[in-house]
Amino acid sequence: MVPTEVLLLADVKDLGAEGDVVRVADGYARNYLYPRSLGAPVTEATRRRLAKMRQTREQAVKMALKTAQDLAEKLDGVSCTVTVKVGEGDKLYGSVTAAMVADALKAQELDIDRSQLVLESPIRELGVFTVPIRLHPDVEASVRVWVVEE
């Protein structure tokens, strides 16, 4: 068993991160890493390929961050209204979920996915609530949700 030097093209659990040069068994490299494009033999060409991949990925991350920041500015001061059926004593039938808030925002032409809404638990009463929205790991915004009776 001859160890082979491999340049990792992606993060591999229990082995290393993208860009690391690791020594692995020849069979592991040939049968697992190479076919799945997780690694490549250490050559100058693979180093250039990895540098280009990193540069492209950095640009994509910067673009996603910029888009999230622009959307956060747009969401600043936005509020939406969710109408619900109410029984005796202003008790809601059911509750207001993240999907309902996302639909109310879509009605205002704001494309927010319900998974981005950070509702610890569904809203079960009438009133005004501040709902945080995680647009990016580094960007968070919030909207005011008015829960009113139908």
- In the three-class reduction of DSSP (H, G, I as helix; E, B as strand; rest coil), residue 1 is classed as coil
Asked if 62 and 116 sit in the same domain, the reply is no
Q: Give the residues across from 61 on adjacent strands.
A: none
Asked if 121 and 142 sit in the same domain, the reply is yes
Tell me the pLDDT tens digit for each residue of 94-139.
Answer: 889 999 999 999 998 888 898 999 988 889 889 999 999 999 988 9
Q: What is the CATH number of the domain that holds 96?
A: 3.10.430.100
Give me the number of domains the chain comprises.
2
Tell me the pLDDT tens digit for each residue of 67-102.
Answer: 999 989 988 889 999 999 888 887 888 889 999 999
Instruction: Please say which residue of 68, 87, 111 terminates a domain.
Output: 68
Q: Which two tokens stand for residue 108?
A: 């205002």
Instruction: Please say which residue of 20, 46, 68 terminates a domain.
Output: 68
Asked if 89 and 101 sit in the same domain, the reply is yes
Asked if 77 and 122 sit in the same domain, the reply is yes
Asked if 95 and 134 sit in the same domain, the reply is yes
Residue 29 has pLDDT above 90, yes or no: yes
Quote the distance between the C-alpha of residue 92 and its chain's center.
Answer: 32
Asked if 10 and 52 sit in the same domain, the reply is yes
Asked if 58 and 105 sit in the same domain, the reply is no
Boundaries of domain holding 9: 3-68
Query: Is the CB of residue 95 less than 8 Å from the CB of residue 86?
Result: no
Q: pTM to 2 decimals?
A: 0.67
Note the maximum CA span of the chain: 77
